[in-house]
Structure 1
Amino acid sequence: MDFELLPNEILLDLFDYFDGIDLLRAFYSLNYRFNDLLYNQFRLYRFNFSSISKRDFDMICQQHLPFITQRVISLSLTDNYNIPEQANLFLS
């Protein structure tokens, strides 16, 4: 069975098990349907930026967050060696 043939309701239920970063990495840009599910129908994003690269952090913050800001229910930032001053970068 093709994963893409699953109904939207099942895909949205599966999305609940992913951190927002992994969810966007795995499913964004697969096709129009997945982009629509992620940006317009999925409701509960959780982001844990504690172990993400600077490149991925910038990509999520610049390309995705502006479209899903109202649906982020959890956000975790850190000040570690990967991205020093992460909170300040996030706010800018």
Structure 2
Amino acid sequence: METNDRLHADVRNLREEVGEVKNLLERLVRLEERHANTANALERAFSALAKIDGRVRKLELAQPVQRLATGWVTNAAWAAAGVLAMLLLRKIGVV
């Protein structure tokens, strides 16, 4: 009977080990799913960054022209204000 008891103990141990392997395998599958989701999210983020990078480059290339145009508009506004001030001063009789 001693051999039979050892056999039962060995089978019990095997069942416990198989249960542990099953639990570890389920955990590994969940981790792999998380990893795949993270990889997909990173791919979407890098794709969005690439699109934004293209837009920023276009804006950076247009910035000098925009700065020049803004300067012209500002100078024209000051010139118009000066002309208006001169007209007002002439109307008042100061000049």
Q: TM-score over 0.5 for the alignment?
A: no
Q: Which has the larger radius of gyration?
A: 2
TM-score, reference length from structure 2: 0.20
Structure with the higher fraction of residues in helix conformation: 2
The higher relative CO (CA closer than 8 Å, separation ≥ 6) is in: 1
TM-score, reference length from structure 1: 0.21
